[in-house]
Structure 1
Amino acid sequence: MRLVLIHLRVEFLVMETLVSAIANTFVFLFGACIGSFLNVVIYRIPAGLSLVHPPSRCPKCGHRLGKTENVPVLGWLWLKGRCRWCKTPISPRYPTIEAVTGIIFLFVFWQFGYTLETIGYCAFLSWLLSLSMIDFDTMTLPSSLTKSGLLLGLVFQAIIGWEKAAFSGIANQLIFGIGGAVLGIWLLEIIGYIGTLILGQQAMGDGDGKLMATIGAWLGWKYVLVGGFLACGIGSIIGGGAIILGILNKKQPMPFGPFLALGAALTLFFGNQIISAYVNLLIV
């Protein structure tokens, strides 16, 4: 009897491991596919192009990518980083974003499991990644993405509220999200005002406040404070280091959107631990 139980337990563990491996593989591949679409968003929205037409193609010769060439990550490796027809180099950033998106989706899945939060936060981080790369490339944060991200955040809060307590839950979660959005805008305005006084020039763009409002709509007032603090800290360290190394000068603008996105992502995954550590520090 004992041997039978051991055998059954081994079979269960093997099955559990197999199911977990399949789930993780699916999540990563799905994330990589979304990352492929994010590459389109990052390139086309600043250029004012349609996200749907024309289909993915080589920007040099116009060759439309085939099915095998469009496979996330593997398609770039298959082509050895060059267009199949004109041999123009294809930036390694494309497969990198695809792989990073897949990894992000895995982190969200590991943290939140089979829940609505996993779907919502995967979408949230996809928005943040797109906005970060656009800001890095163009020093702009398109309103179409910040506004749609804010709206989607409030829809997400309403869905989570309904799951918790029907109509009363929706009201509570919407207040939570709207409060976070408003605080996010105020927080960036204060930081921008102080930064302008210190630097003697405009420290924040209008898009940064909209992005912070989007983050607040998704994470709420408490986490938007933590995310803002982390963004300022990381941005100050990297910006200061770049100035010391001569990579930037004091008057040269630096995109702040990627730091806001990074602060929000870290807060999403480690917010409770950060707040607990801060409270314990104050008590000690």
Structure 2
Amino acid sequence: MGLLVGSFLNVVVHRVPAGISVVRPPSACPGCGHEIRGFDNVPVLSWIALRGRCRDCRAPISARYPAVELATAVLFTVVAVVFVPTITDGGSSAGGAGLLLALLYLMAISVALALIDIDTHRLPNVIVLPAYVVVVVLLGGASAVTGDWGAFVRAGIGLVGLGTVYLVLALAVPGGMGMGDVKLAGVLGFVLAYLGWGPLAVGAFAAFLLGGTFSLVLMSTGRAGRRSGIPFGPWMLAGAWLGIFLGPVIWAAYLGALGLG
């Protein structure tokens, strides 16, 4: 599933910033214009079989395509290994499935948004805004099945809270934080808070820690200056996933160190 989704994400990353439909026209070689045959569109394997070149004109095919497919497969597997047990761990399987689907969806758009932000310094509304509907519906359905409406209310607080923090930063430091970051913060705040206050706190803090560290490294090596534009979306997403996977453990250790655990 991850391989197939990764193949589609390659289309999304290429076409969405250009304002092209992800459905039509069919994928074609940018060099010769020949439509890609079905048997040349098998994730990873086709690229290997073609030795990274178009079958018709022998133009090179970027290694990023199979890398995205393989990375998405690995990331989907990690999500499944970590969260599939929640489906059968004492709760409703339907509720656990809703959570799993929400996280797989978030992982898919995380890959697409990170690559698009790196390429264009944009987080397109066409991906971010529908994510609100998807995560609210999936996690709302999970709460309806399990009866855990506390998690859903907490998620709403996370959406408003993290979105407000980013909005204040965007208004206080013009040019330092884009409105795309603000919109994405609401989605991430909703999912993180649904999982708990610990994941929200860790995920929110980790974004600034990771992004700040990366910026300092670039400046110390002379590859960026104080006014250089560095996409923050990938660090928001990386921080959020750190909160999702390790938030409860890190938060418990932090409270324990303060004598509050």
Task: Provide TM-score, normalisation by structure 2.
Answer: 0.89
Letter in 2 for 1:96: A
Aligned counterpart for 1:214 among listed residues 187, 190, 193: 187
Aligned counterpart for 2:165 among listed residues 167, 187, 208: 187
Shift of 1:133: 0.8
1:149-191: per-residue Cα shift (whole Å, max 9, x none)?
12111112211111212xxx4x544423221111111121344
Aligned position for 2:240: 264
Paired with 1:207 and 1:100, the residues of 2 have a C-alpha distance of: 24
Tell me whether 236-245 or 113-122 shows the greater mean CA deviation. 113-122
* 2:52–2:60 contact (8 Å) kept in structure 1: yes
Paired with 2:113 and 2:54, the residues of 1 have a C-alpha distance of: 27
* 2:202–2:242 contact (8 Å) kept in structure 1: no
Letter in 2 for 1:126: A
Q: Which runs of 4+ in 1 moved over 6 A?
A: none
Letter in 2 for 1:89: P
1:64-98: per-residue Cα shift (whole Å, max 9, x none)?
11122111111111111111111111111111110
Matched, 1:251 2:222: no
Paired with 1:120 and 1:228, the residues of 2 have a C-alpha distance of: 19
1:2-48: per-residue Cα shift (whole Å, max 9, x none)?
xxxxxxxxxxxxxxxxxxxxxxxxxxxx1011000011111111100
* 2:10–2:65 contact (8 Å) kept in structure 1: yes
Largest Rg, 1 or 2: 1
Paired with 1:193 and 1:50, the residues of 2 have a C-alpha distance of: 33
Tell me whether 246-255 or 215-224 shows the greater mean CA deviation. 215-224
Tell me the number of residue pairs that the alignment of Structure 1 and Structure 2 aligns.
246
Letter in 2 for 1:122: L
The aligned runs of 1:55-70 (5 Å cut-off) are: 55-70=26-41
Aligned counterpart for 1:129 among listed residues 83, 91, 111: 111
Aligned position for 1:51: 22
Shift of 1:193: 5.5
Aligned counterpart for 1:279 among listed residues 235, 255, 261: 255
Letter in 2 for 1:133: L
* 2:200–2:247 contact (8 Å) kept in structure 1: no
Paired with 2:175 and 2:9, the residues of 1 have a C-alpha distance of: 30
Letter in 1 for 2:233: G
Shift of 1:118: 2.3
* 1:219–1:268 contact (8 Å) kept in structure 2: yes
Tell me whether 223-232 or 131-140 shows the greater mean CA deviation. 223-232
* 1:235–1:259 contact (8 Å) kept in structure 2: yes
SS at match of 1:122: helix
1:94-120: per-residue Cα shift (whole Å, max 9, x none)?
111100100011101111115412222
Aligned position for 2:65: 94
* 1:180–1:217 contact (8 Å) kept in structure 2: yes
Matched, 1:202 2:175: yes
Paired with 1:74 and 1:87, the residues of 2 have a C-alpha distance of: 17
Paired with 2:102 and 2:175, the residues of 1 have a C-alpha distance of: 34
Aligned residues: percent identity? 33
* 2:170–2:182 contact (8 Å) kept in structure 1: no
Shift of 1:192: 4.1
**Structure 2, gaps ≥5 residues long:** 88-95
Letter in 2 for 1:93: R
Letter in 2 for 1:48: G
Matched, 1:109 2:72: no
Aligned position for 1:25: none
Letter in 2 for 1:72: P
**Structure 1, gaps ≥5 residues long:** 1-29
Aligned position for 2:92: none
Tell me whether 114-123 or 133-142 shows the greater mean CA deviation. 114-123
Aligned position for 1:27: none
Aligned position for 1:14: none
* 2:44–2:70 contact (8 Å) kept in structure 1: yes
Task: Provide TM-score, normalisation by structure 1.
Answer: 0.82
Aligned position for 1:22: none
* 2:2–2:69 contact (8 Å) kept in structure 1: yes
